[in-house]
Structure 1
Amino acid sequence: MAANDDLRILAALEKQLLWTACWTIHAANHLRAKGEVKVGGHQASSASVASILTALYFHVLRPQDRMAVKPHAGPVFHAIQYMMGNQSRAKLEAYRALGGVQAYPSRTKDSDDVDISTGSVGLGVAFTAFASIVQDYLAAKPWATPQPLGRMIAIVGDAELDEGNIYECLQEGWKHDLRNTWWIVDYNRQSLDGVVGEGLWARIEAVFRAFGWDVVTLKHGALQRAAFAEEGGAALAAWIDACPNQLYSALTFQGGAAWRRRLTEDLGEAVAGILARRSDEALGRLMSNLGGHCLETLIDAFDAIDHDRPTVFLAYTIKGWGTPLAGHKDNHAGLMTPAQMAEFQRACGVEPGREWERFAAIGDLSGVAEFLERVPFFAGGPRRRRAAKIAAPGPVALDDAQLSTQAGFGKILDSLAASGAPIAERIVTTAPDVTVSTNLGPWVNRRGLFARDALADTFRTERIASTQKWEFSPAGQHIELGIAEMNLFLLLGAAGLAHSLWGERLLPIGTVYDPFICRGLDALNYACYQSARFLLIGTPSGVALAPEGGAHQSISTPLIGMAQDGLASFEPAYLDELSVLMDWAFDYLQRDGDGDPDERTWLRDETGGSVYLRLSTRPLEQPARRSDPAFRQGVVDGAHWLRPPGPNADVVLVYQGCVAPEVIEAAGRIGEFRRDVGVLAVTSADRLNAGWTAAQRARRRGNARARSHVETLLAGLPAHCTLVTVIDGHPATLAWLGAVAGHRTIPIGVEHFGQSGSIAELYRHHGLDADGIVAAVGGLTEGRRIDEWRPPR
């Protein structure tokens, strides 16, 4: 429990933080020049958690704890950092403007010390659970530096609990014996469009208890509890507990006089003494003194937790608490008017002209400086850690004459597991219930599954033959997940930030059926937005997963790979390409440069990022192994000539992925009637496109010599040359190549849901087979309709 003088100072800090947050939003909307649309902000949503964040940051948190602040409370977070000297006035004045603080706390966009980005509601909340699992994983490893376990804490808006990923996360946490996780629900009972339904608290409590969480309800503050002890207090307590959410909010907005009228009407003489002893202003303070706004109540509840079980605090609050917006149903995105702000400024005691001063709302500054110097959370300074790079061992050579890239991925990982290379101990793998079917089985057999407590494989102890060794132990390096893809990307995000959150390097690899990347897109984008580093394996992919039917055949994922910032996307066709890319990826995941482009490709490879490999289950006959530096560089840069075109080339076939055999066959047949046919093997349409657009920007800025890799590759083609692009995915992935140098382009790919069949049948159906490719070329170059033309044999 905090001492009385500490409570006095905390209350003063709370008022200052509320003022700074609300003034920041007001200045951006009413004082600063604006564009065509309002700047916006969330004064009411910030006000509802000002007390909670004050109690946490200035009393409860330790340096090892990590915080996810709900998105709409970003201004309070930035006000805290401003108070502590970690944020500048200039950036606050530029709130939601170029170069200013972000609307929602961001690890990558904000200059102050954001632990966990929370731009997409619900994801930052669930992220804390997976961060706790990763913290346990690190604590179990002998190579990790021992450090105190922190609490992973999230401030949760009650409306965030509508998000389905919250409940997927709860189930996964239960399976992994989650600990050291606190969620504090800002139970203000209002959302953007209205007031939440009655009795939601009971449902929340039941759900959390079902998954093994402790539930602490903070409904009444110290003032209310004191009033309940007075004569008539029991009647008042019962009335508050039974009051509908909408009525409580409306009366809060109307103020003390409205409270007095209603309580008199409903309770009469039973509460006459309580009402008589309080002015309207004091009565308003009493009725708004819910548990989430009482520092004494909050601190006592937080300090009482003496265990590591996951705990949810249901903190009753009032949206807009302490401001003229308190309780109004339209306050979510509402802004105080200039008149209301002037009223609020007088109430906070801030003199005109001092609005941006760090302690302008604190009248009595005695002891404040000394108090802030001993706040534990900020004692260690900046909280971003760094970790040493782990050297990649070089490409793993595979000698298989025929194999799929998915199987090759499994063999490369198995080789690393067996090699004992230093990088192997830093790899952690995970999959949403597709470990075996994505070829992670050999890796898991060698390295084991992770759990804090050992669990034997019953099938092995019972002597039942099985190819899998499902033994769990603290030494394991695979974290098995249920089938929810959102959880996969949240775990990859948490593990992919281990170097920054805990100063320990992890190289996370996650496998998922390629079409089901779409089921976790929000969390994938969120992980990339945080600059988490991981290797994503999407496999199997395309209609090449032929018998499974359309639901399991991916179409749009190559475009997702191109569009997703922070994710370098590749689709190798052959094992030697895959080996080069995996080795490169282990290094790329660990880069953290300043972003200067490589003037050979105009890619910002210094910055590093995550990597996505789109792999296939289709076995391909392998070419003679290629290992010369030019080949390796082309694979990494995004494309290399499988068959260089001649000087008079009429046609160049361009492919990405496992359609290589059809393209090669078609090239041979087209060569019988077309000159100098070339074949371009694209390993990354994403990297080619990124380099091309970057080079164009550089030229517009005055660097006339800027040329991207794809421009160099296509520079020698005659103007009359036609590009035929082929991919087992959406044709737009490669169709843009015609714009690079103005070549006519025929894009071939998959635009519609597939169906069951063999690969040959489905490739013929979609025009991906050699006949379809030859027909596309012949029909256009001969000036005949495709269905009338037949290729020579």
Structure 2
Amino acid sequence: MSAHLKTIEQRLLWLSHWMIHNANHIRPKADGIKVGGHQASSASMVSIMTALYFQSLRPEDRVAVKPHASPIFHAIQYLMGNQTRERMENFRGYGGVQSYPSRTKDIDDVDFSTGSVGLGVAVTSFASIVQDYIQAKSWGGDQKMGRMIALVGDAELDEGNIYEALQEGWKNDLRNCWWIIDYNRQSLDGVVREGLFKRIEQIFDAFGWDVVRVKYGHLQRAAFEEIGGDKLRQWIDDCPNQLYSALTFMGGAIWRERLMDALGDQGDVTALIERRTDVELAELMENLGGNCVQTMADTFAAIDHDRPVCFLAYTIKGWGTPIAGHKDNHGGLMNKTQMGDWQDHMGVPQGQEWDKFATIADPTAFEIELKKTPFFTKGPRRFIDDVIDVPKIELTSDREISTQMAFGKILDSLSKCDNKFAERIVTTSPDVTGTTNLGPWVNRRKLFARDHQEDTFKNENIPSTAKWEFTPEGQHIELGIAEMNLFLLLAAAGLSHSVFGKRLIPIGTVYDPFVSRGLDALNYACYQDARFMIVGTPSGVTLSYEGGAHQSIASPLIGMSQDGLAAFEPAFADELAVIMEWSFNHLQKDGESDPDERTWLRDETGGSVYLRLTTNPIEQPGKRVDDAFKQGAIDGAYWLREPGPNCEVVIAYQGAVAPEAIKAAGTIGEGRRDVGVLAVTSADRLNAGWTAAQRARTNGNKAAASHIETILQGLPRNCVLITVIDGHPATLSWMGGVWGHKTISHGVEHFGQTGSIADLYRHFRLDADALVSSASELSLGRQIPHIRSVG
């Protein structure tokens, strides 16, 4: 395709910009506001993406496209027949091409979703690590190693998670990763500071990357060979970013004026300038390396190793359009007059704006050549791997045990298994492997590294409970303490079945309060429909002596609000076993079906799972095998103490406060005829089912009833719900709205502090005495508000 690269580039430039123009200036507007679309940010990437997609990429390569270059990406797919005109015409509209590339919402072949800047960049390095992990395994197959490539806006380099990822990549001997930086030196609010590229090069070099600076296009390099060309090159190198952008916007005549003022009295260079018309001079000065398609193609082709590479491609924002170089062009759009003039310049006939081959003399021959493009020859590159059978998971205990310890025991039990499921588990943790009870699993299954590394403590005969040997067969990827990296690795591993054709069962552990530190990356992973289990532990003020900085409050609400993530907070080991077995199946589902009318949840679509666990050992209820308990634990709640027909009080708890709820129910029951205890394992699933059932009834299915509605429907109207959780009280307070029962909600709304569990439970009114006190208000005849938060 080398001979056609310039033609393709110009077609992509037109199609992407027409799509944006159509959305903003031609398509009827429903609400009168700008649709947007980043014409300038697309234009700066068009040469890079043309060279990459139509000459350099192979089918096994994967690309994360700069969010604002989405129009170029979709134009590529449209040109290749993988995107429809209907969706292109509906760019940023309902059901149309998405604003930013989306694996789940776009119909074309998006490798990695992008949108929250920086995350799509960093995920490519973790995808490369996952690729190495799979290749090292006996079951990894012989699939070709691909390059994980990120197209990066230079302003994205302000994002801290990029540098966290660089460090993690260095520790894991990163390879087969390219980051191509669109160095247009303009961001949303201004022009990037002078000399930034020097800092960028130093950073990448420090982490073992090759840095390839692509500054000059072929026209500039040829001019530099002319007599006086060295002086022109020096002027370009010395010109401040803002001035270069401004001169680009003003055009050829102004370029001539400024260059002649600066260089015109130096003889040789004067002739170089005067040999060119204003149009030719502007074309020369705007022919930076990143805007020269052949230069980019040659640069990519010259890489003959698997070391990570950072390409620093100099570009002009808005290149090739009337708004090139303008300070305000980030969100700017060509107006109708500018677009009309530009259409004439691009040679696109009126009425053929959407024609993929409008400017091509022989469309048939051209399309035949397009179909030979290596990257597209194998069609869509999404894989499907078989669903792996999940073994029976059971764990009961007659003694006190915490859910965190139970989690460790379950994984330890799985580590002893010799089956496909166990071999596909990959665990990871941000420097808290031991303290989140992954130690026994790692001791048996070892840590992953491409090359074997001895355990020095073991070799020196120093006793240690951590027998941490690094080996290609290892199944734990140890990370540094950056939680963003944890969720990005889970995102990459959770897409392995689709990206690499090999299903993994990724499990990550993190201190529960620090879920918030990686929340952007967690949301990003779920938006891509990556499949993983995240275990937040230890959690809540139950952590006691660690203090408020390590005690989570809002994480249950995060679990409820995060799409694509089923959140659970079991209190007992047997609940956890049931939930984990269900979860491992849930991670692998990818079906379409109507909601399950028992819960009104769409479980057949599958998703990721969040477990909120704790370190506090509590007395276990003994062996339970009834189906109602098991199904209730999965659906979100079951009766631990079932109420009778005259029930006056129900205590609904979630998580580690179970003993306080049970104790309070016993005390209240001494003076009241009937007290129920509702074990909530997932407020998330209960609430989601409730709202889904309400929608179903609104849509005409009057018989729709969710799990929580079914559970609570037999309670007398005057029954009071007392809810309690070691977390924000809003997690459970909504339950009063299901059937209109008065509700008193206990929980944690303020930062914790150090102290014993008893001290903190008493302080936050999570203890049995506080629950009994709330019930006592009833007998005193006090007016209880519909919902009141205590603590």
Structure 1: state its 5+ residue gaps.
Answer: 1-5, 787-793
CA distance in 2, matches of 1:146, 1:273: 59
Q: Deviations over 1:292-350 (max 9, x none)?
A: 01122111110110000000000000000001110000000001100011111111111
> Is 1:684 matched with 2:679?
no
Q: Post-superposition shift, 1:631?
A: 1.0
Counterpart position of 2:736: 738
CA distance in 2, matches of 1:562, 1:627: 28
Task: Select between 29-38 and 691-700 the one with higher mean Cα deviation.
Answer: 29-38
Q: Deviations over 1:255-301 (max 9, x none)?
A: 00010000000111332111111000000000000000112211111
Counterpart residue identity of residue 108, structure 1? T
After superposition, residues 618-767 of structure 1 pair within 5 angstroms as 618-767=616-765
After superposition, residues 402-481 of structure 1 pair within 5 angstroms as 402-481=400-479
Question: Is the CA contact (8 Å cut-off) linking 2:397 and 2:622 kept in structure 1?
Answer: no
Q: Deviations over 1:56-89 (max 9, x none)?
A: 1100000000000000000000000000000000
Q: What is the DSSP-based 3-state SS (H/G/I as helix, E as strand, rest coil) of the residue aligned with 1:327?
A: coil
Counterpart residue identity of residue 23, structure 2? A
CA distance in 1, matches of 2:275, 2:2: 25
Question: Is the CA contact (8 Å cut-off) linking 2:395 and 2:406 kept in structure 1?
Answer: no
> Is 1:493 matched with 2:477?
no
Q: Post-superposition shift, 1:400?
A: 4.8
Counterpart position of 1:185: 181
CA distance in 1, matches of 2:304, 2:673: 78
Q: What is the DSSP-based 3-state SS (H/G/I as helix, E as strand, rest coil) of the residue aligned with 1:545?
A: helix
Counterpart position of 2:583: 585
Equivalenced residue count is 781
1:40 to 12, 36, 41: 36
Q: Deviations over 1:731-759 (max 9, x none)?
A: 00000000001111001000000000000
Task: Select between 20-29 and 363-372 the one with higher mean Cα deviation.
Answer: 363-372
Question: Is the CA contact (8 Å cut-off) linking 2:697 and 2:703 kept in structure 1?
Answer: yes
Question: Is the CA contact (8 Å cut-off) linking 2:218 and 2:295 kept in structure 1?
Answer: yes
Q: What is the DSSP-based 3-state SS (H/G/I as helix, E as strand, rest coil) of the residue aligned with 1:52?
A: helix
Q: Deviations over 1:192-211 (max 9, x none)?
A: 00000000010000000000
Q: Post-superposition shift, 1:777?
A: 1.4
CA distance in 2, matches of 1:612, 1:598: 21
After superposition, residues 119-518 of structure 1 pair within 5 angstroms as 119-270=115-266, 271-363=269-361, 365=363, 367-518=365-516
Let me know the Cα RMSD of the aligned residues: 1.1
Task: Select between 399-408 and 285-294 the one with higher mean Cα deviation.
Answer: 399-408
CA distance in 2, matches of 1:40, 1:392: 47
> Is 1:21 matched with 2:16?
yes
Question: Is the CA contact (8 Å cut-off) linking 2:541 and 2:551 kept in structure 1?
Answer: yes
Task: Select between 269-278 and 633-642 the one with higher mean Cα deviation.
Answer: 269-278
Question: Is the CA contact (8 Å cut-off) linking 2:398 and 2:621 kept in structure 1?
Answer: no
CA distance in 2, matches of 1:546, 1:131: 38
CA distance in 2, matches of 1:288, 1:656: 63
Counterpart position of 2:522: 524
CA distance in 2, matches of 1:122, 1:361: 36
CA distance in 2, matches of 1:98, 1:404: 47
Question: Is the CA contact (8 Å cut-off) linking 1:16 and 1:362 kept in structure 2?
Answer: no
Counterpart position of 1:791: none
Question: Is the CA contact (8 Å cut-off) linking 2:85 and 2:354 kept in structure 1?
Answer: yes
Counterpart residue identity of residue 248, structure 1? Y
Q: Post-superposition shift, 1:578?
A: 0.2
CA distance in 2, matches of 1:464, 1:698: 63
* Runs of 4+, deviation exceeding 4 Å: 363-367
CA distance in 2, matches of 1:460, 1:329: 60
Question: Is the CA contact (8 Å cut-off) linking 1:651 and 1:675 kept in structure 2?
Answer: no
Question: Is the CA contact (8 Å cut-off) linking 1:719 and 1:743 kept in structure 2?
Answer: yes
Q: Post-superposition shift, 1:364?
A: 5.8
Counterpart residue identity of residue 434, structure 1? V
CA distance in 1, matches of 2:650, 2:253: 81
Counterpart residue identity of residue 44, structure 1? A
CA distance in 1, matches of 2:497, 2:139: 14
Q: 1:512 to 1:342 in 2, by over 3 A?
A: same
After superposition, residues 68-83 of structure 1 pair within 5 angstroms as 68-83=64-79
Q: What is the DSSP-based 3-state SS (H/G/I as helix, E as strand, rest coil) of the residue aligned with 2:149?
A: strand
Q: What is the DSSP-based 3-state SS (H/G/I as helix, E as strand, rest coil) of the residue aligned with 2:416?
A: helix
Question: Is the CA contact (8 Å cut-off) linking 1:723 and 1:745 kept in structure 2?
Answer: yes
Counterpart residue identity of residue 136, structure 1? D
CA distance in 1, matches of 2:112, 2:85: 22
Counterpart position of 1:790: none
Q: Post-superposition shift, 1:574?
A: 0.1
Question: Is the CA contact (8 Å cut-off) linking 2:5 and 2:294 kept in structure 1?
Answer: no
1:97 to 93, 108, 111: 93
Task: Select between 162-171 and 292-301 the one with higher mean Cα deviation.
Answer: 292-301
CA distance in 1, matches of 2:358, 2:449: 51
Question: Is the CA contact (8 Å cut-off) linking 1:7 and 1:295 kept in structure 2?
Answer: no
Q: What is the DSSP-based 3-state SS (H/G/I as helix, E as strand, rest coil) of the residue aligned with 1:419?
A: coil
Q: Post-superposition shift, 1:7?
A: 3.9
CA distance in 2, matches of 1:348, 1:14: 12
> When the two structures are superposed, what TM-score results if normalisation uses the length of structure 2?
0.98
Structure 2: state its 5+ residue gaps.
Answer: 785-791
Q: 1:89 to 1:366 in 2, by over 3 A?
A: closer
Q: Once the two structures are aligned, what percentage of the paired residues are identical?
A: 68
Question: Is the CA contact (8 Å cut-off) linking 1:184 and 1:315 kept in structure 2?
Answer: yes
2:26 to 18, 22, 31: 31
Q: Post-superposition shift, 1:714?
A: 0.4
CA distance in 2, matches of 1:452, 1:421: 23
Q: Post-superposition shift, 1:625?
A: 1.5
Question: Is the CA contact (8 Å cut-off) linking 1:722 and 1:743 kept in structure 2?
Answer: yes
> When the two structures are superposed, what TM-score results if normalisation uses the length of structure 1?
0.98
1:118 to 99, 109, 114: 114
Q: Post-superposition shift, 1:394?
A: 1.4
> Is 1:571 matched with 2:573?
no
CA distance in 2, matches of 1:533, 1:516: 20
